[in-house]
């Protein structure tokens, strides 16, 4: 089955592939070619790998050996409980931008960050220190700030942030890190999605953060608009992030969950109902950004149901449907999410009518 792929202007997005690293990279390159993009346009690989069966250092080396020669790619490795729709061990998704490379921070097949056309991609990065989750979070953001500066950009140019952290799925566990990270942004900030990891990262680190940004090709800031529908769920602490952000005709929707305006879980424990509610929240947020032409990508992060994706539960059926939908989707299963009884979090990228 061909890898699901979509192109909007110069941006190309794929869903999660399956197979061994070389098979997945080959499928990604073939998918890009169908959209008029080449391997030289590849900007980001995000690899979800099963933490108990795949060694991240070996995975990185395997990917390095099979990616095409080029100006460098941002790589994010994310340990999960279940990856993609295949055997659960590995699933790689990709983003490409058709155009010339403006700047790169780092060298080799995998770089810390790059700027291609009007898009910025910063690889998922851990901090320089090992300490509390809050201390590591500040260290990561400082490093990301240096990478942004090397690309001629800043935190005000970030449109999407993904945080992957190892901690219990409770407010008490993640709040100090959330506050430390948020202090680097001014309001209104980017969209944000944060997921609890099943294991520590290599080197005993607890957090990894990936950024995507947009900036004018002349280096000037691009105008942005934001969406926060009335009555939509909120975090239990004030943070600068918005549910939706539009820039350059593209809409970004942060991870949507089944919470109410008081941050209480709706339909606790019911994965199928929470999937539908999260998708409904995405529709509401995206509508606040402008008329939507199509959904370009879904990132689906869920608590693994009994029997996994092949199980008979209604939740598994809902996840399988997303994985085989018209929009490219990346599915990654975890032991827990950020709140007890919360079973799924879904982020999206949408094409807005000009």
CB 327 within 8 A of CB 4: yes
DSSP 308: G
- What pLDDT, on a 0 to 100 scale, did the predictor assign at position 30? 95
pLDDT band at 305 (very low <50, low <70, confident <90, very high): very high
Number of domains in the chain: 1
Q: Is 86 exposed, middle or buried (0-12, 13-18, 19+ CB in 10 A)?
A: middle
Whether residue 1 is predicted with pLDDT greater than 60 in this model: the reply is: no
> Quick one: average pLDDT of 116-121?
97
- Reading the block at residue 82, the tokens are 């279940």
Residue 69: the pLDDT is 86
DSSP string covering 62-102, please? HHHHHSPSSS-EEEEEEEESEETTTTBSEEEEEEEE-S-EE
pTM score, whole prediction: 0.96
**β-sheet bridge partners, residue 14:** 5
- CATH classification at residue 155: 3.30.1330.40
Helix, strand, coil shares of the chain, percent, nearest 5, are 25, 35, 40
With beta carbons less than 8 A apart as the criterion, state whether 160 and 191 touch: yes
Decide if pLDDT at 59 tops 90.
yes
Per-residue confidence at 45, pLDDT binned at 50, 70, 90? very high
Residues paired with residue 33 on neighbouring β-strands, in sequence order: none
**Sequence-separated (6 or more) residues with CB below 8 Å from residue 16:** 48, 83, 84, 85, 91, 92, 93, 323, 329, 330, 331, 332
Q: Tell me the residue range of the domain where 221 lies.
A: 5-352
CA distance 83 to 80: 6
How far is residue 335's CA from residue 340's CA, in Å, rounded to a whole number? 11
Q: What is the rounded CA–CA span in Å between residue 19 and residue 49?
A: 12
Tell me: pLDDT of 282 over 90: yes
| Best CA proximity match to 318, nearest among 283, 280, 263 | 280
At 169 the pLDDT is: 65
How does pLDDT run across 100-110, given as a tens digit for each residue? 999 999 998 99
In this structure, the dihedral spanned by the alpha carbons of residues 119, 123, 129 and 131, taken in order and rounded to 10 degrees, is 100
What's residue 338's pLDDT? 79
CA atoms within 13 A on the CB side of 212: 26
Mean pLDDT to the nearest integer, 7-11: 95
Mean pLDDT (whole number) for 177-183: 93
- DSSP string for residues in 13-44: EE----SSHHHHHHHHHHHHHHTT--GGGEEE
Q: What integer is the mean pLDDT of 264-291?
A: 95
pLDDT of residue 23: 96
Which residues lie below 8 Å from residue 88, measured CB to CB, with a gap of 6+?
A: 50, 82, 308, 309, 333
Q: What is the predicted pLDDT for the residue at 354?
A: 67
Q: Which pLDDT band, with edges at 50, 70 and 90, does 311 fall under?
A: confident
Which of 169 and 222 is assigned the larger pLDDT?
222
Mean pLDDT for the stretch of residues 130-155: 96
Give the three-state DSSP class for 103: strand
The strand pair at 207-214 and 5-8 is best described as unpaired
Residues 6+ apart with CB under 8 A from 21: 59, 62, 63, 66, 90, 92
Is the pLDDT reported for residue 91 higher than 80? yes
Q: Please report how the helices 314-323 and 271-287 are oriented relative to each other, as an axis angle in degrees rounded to 10.
A: 40
Res. 251: pLDDT tops 80: yes
pLDDT at 182 over 80: yes
Which residue, among 253, 224, 73, has the nearest Cα to 160 in the 3D structure?
A: 253
Question: Which of 99-103, 167-171, 215-219, 300-304 shows the lowest per-residue confidence on average (mean pLDDT)?
Answer: 167-171
């Amino acid at each position: 089955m061909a890898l699901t792929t979509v192109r909007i202007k110069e941006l190309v997005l794929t869903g999660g592939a399956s197979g061994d690293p070389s098979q997945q990279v080959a499928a990604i390159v073939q998918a890009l070619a169908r959209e008029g993009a080449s391997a030289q346009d590849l900007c980001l690989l995000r690899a979800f790998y099963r933490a108990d069966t795949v060694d991240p250092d070996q995975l990185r080396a395997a990917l390095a050996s099979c990616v095409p020669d080029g100006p460098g790619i941002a790589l994010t490795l994310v340990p999960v409980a279940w990856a993609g729709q295949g055997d659960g061990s590995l699933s790689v998704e990709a983003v490409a931008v058709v155009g010339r490379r403006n700047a790169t921070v780092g060298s080799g097949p995998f770089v810390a960050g790059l700027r291609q056309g009007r898009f910025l991609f910063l690889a998922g990065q851990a901090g320089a220190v090992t300490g509390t989750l809050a201390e590591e979070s500040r260290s990561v953001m400082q490093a990301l700030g240096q990478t942004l500066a090397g690309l001629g950009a800043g935190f005000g140019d970030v449109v999407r942030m993904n945080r992957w952290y190892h901690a219990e799925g409770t407010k008490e566990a993640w709040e100090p890190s959330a506050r430390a990270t948020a202090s680097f942004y001014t309001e209104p900030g980017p969209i944000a999605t944060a997921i609890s990891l099943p294991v520590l990262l290599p080197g005993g680190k607890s957090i990894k953060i990936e950024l995507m940004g947009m900036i004018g090709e002349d280096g000037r800031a691009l105008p942005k608009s934001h969406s926060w529908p009335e009555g939509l769920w909120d975090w239990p602490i004030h943070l600068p992030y918005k549910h939706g952000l539009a820039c350059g005709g593209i809409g970004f929707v942060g991870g949507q969950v089944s919470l109410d305006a008081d941050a209480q879980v709706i339909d606790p424990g019911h994965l199928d109902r929470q999937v539908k509610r999260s998708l409904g929240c995405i529709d509401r947020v995206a509508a606040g950004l402008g008329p939507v032409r199509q959904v370009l990508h879904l990132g689906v992060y869920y608590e693994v149901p009994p029997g996994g994706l092949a199980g008979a539960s209604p939740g598994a059926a809902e996840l399988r449907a997303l994985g085989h939908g018209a929009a490219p989707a990346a599915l990654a299963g975890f032991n827990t999410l950020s709140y007890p009884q919360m079973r799924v979090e879904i982020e999206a990228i949408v094409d807005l009518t000009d």
